[in-house]
Amino acid sequence: MAKDMTLLWGSGSPPCWRVQIALEEKNLQGYNQKLLSFEKGEHKSKEVMDMNPRGQLPAFKHKTYVLNESCAACIYLETQFKSQGNQLIPDCPAEQAQMYQRIFESLTLNQKMADVIYYTWKVPEAERHDSAVKRNRETLSAELKLWEGYLQVNMKIVRYVHVSNEYRKNFSLADVTVYPSIAYVFRFGLCEERYPKLAAYYNSLKSRPSIKTTWPRTWLETQGSDMLKDL
């Protein structure tokens, strides 16, 4: 079943990791995959551009259906393989609403992360300003405090996004999309003491098979950064 799927991905990319986790959760191992290097510019190769003309990863195809937006790919996998693997969309409409809200809020978190982490890569040196760096960091801090606040109520972001063992079985698409972003900020040195609820969430899911199996290879081989340690 998974043999008619292809995933082109880059290690350490939260969007790529989302799709990998979703595939594992739906027991869709054995798909065609290729690890590409961002550093070598392989995400701009013809192979990628043929699937994703934006030249971005992931690039995902099932049969002739191409889904290059990671959240779209995750939702597609759950709806197409609903009866296989773990159920990732709750039955309750209220819980579904909260789940979808958190999924798309995670895109805002990703953008604010990128504004800080990739500032010097994205912005030419002549156009960089200390005031912009300060503003971006303050904006990311406020965003992370918002997510920390979500975890203040019953130790969970929503019922199906959790931090305690009690809720491990209630893993949903919200976790699939949110977790890689949370892991990413801790990879870049976010202080666990300053964000204890996010840290608890991050650490509680490290051993989940779909996450452990797909943990970014580059993270296993290299040290992280301390860029966000003072955030």
Domains identified in the chain, total number: 2
- Same domain? For 206 and 112 the reply is yes
Which domain does 26 fall in, by range?
2-80
Q: What share of the chain is helix, strand, coil (3-state, %, to 5)?
A: 55, 10, 35
Average pLDDT in the 163-177 region?
69
Q: What is the pLDDT of residue 165?
A: 44
The answer to whether residue 86 is domain-embedded is no
Residue whose C-alpha is closest to residue 176's, from 73, 66, 91 = 73
**Mean pLDDT in the chain?**
91
- Same domain? For 63 and 115 the reply is no
Average pLDDT in the 5-25 region?
97
Does the pLDDT value for residue 153 go beyond 90? no
The answer to whether residue 142 is domain-embedded is yes
Instruction: With 0.75 as the threshold, say if the pTM is over it.
Output: yes
The answer to whether residue 231 is domain-embedded is no
Q: What is the pLDDT of residues 116-130, one digit of tens each?
A: 999 998 999 999 999
| Residue predicted with more confidence, 166 or 88 | 88
Q: What is the pLDDT of residue 163?
A: 40
Q: How many CB atoms lie within 10 A of CB 191?
A: 14
- Same domain? For 122 and 196 the reply is yes
CATH number of the domain at 16, please.
Answer: 3.40.30.10
CATH number of the domain at 166, please.
Answer: 1.20.1050.10
